[in-house]
Structure 1
Amino acid sequence: MLHEPVRSSNLRSVGYDQAERVLEVAFHGGGLYRYENVPAEVHVALMMSSGKGGYLAQFVKGRYRYRLISG
């Protein structure tokens, strides 16, 4: 999955697979997380958000099943 670098104090990059509805988030601290069944509009809103870490915390974490891929 291709990741796009983002401007964030917490997030390093974000990747999304629309066919699989999978969101991947890499953090500056080294962790890479994969969130499952994430709608495309959530990914778009995350990428458009000026506060990506805050958006992730409010609208992704705790709402979608995830697993640590590396880190």
Structure 2
Amino acid sequence: MVRNNINSSNIFSLGYDYENKLLEIEFDSGEIYRHSNVPKSVYEKMMNSEFVGYYINYNVRNNYPCVKLK
């Protein structure tokens, strides 16, 4: 999955797999998390959000299954 760099205070990059509805979040700390079953609409709203970290914290973090990759 290709991740794109993000202009955020604690998020380095984000990637999304449209076919499998997977969202990867790479934090500045180097930790990478993969959320599953994330709808395309959630990803698009997140990418258009002025505050991506806030959006992730309140709309993704506790709403979609997650595994830590690194």
Give the letter for the 1:69 counterpart: L
Distance in structure 1 (CA, Å) of the matches to 2:17 and 2:63: 18
> How far did residue 41 of structure 1 move?
0.6
Aligned residue pairs: how many? 70
Classify the secondary structure of the residue corresponding to 2:38: coil
Aligned-pair identity in percent equals: 34
* Residue in structure 2 matched with residue 69 of structure 1 by the alignment: 69
Give unpaired runs (5+ residues) of structure 1. none
Aligned pairs (5 A) from 1:41-52? 41-52=41-52
CA RMSD of aligned residues (A): 0.5
Moved over 4 A (4+): none
Normalising by structure 1, we get a TM-score of 0.96
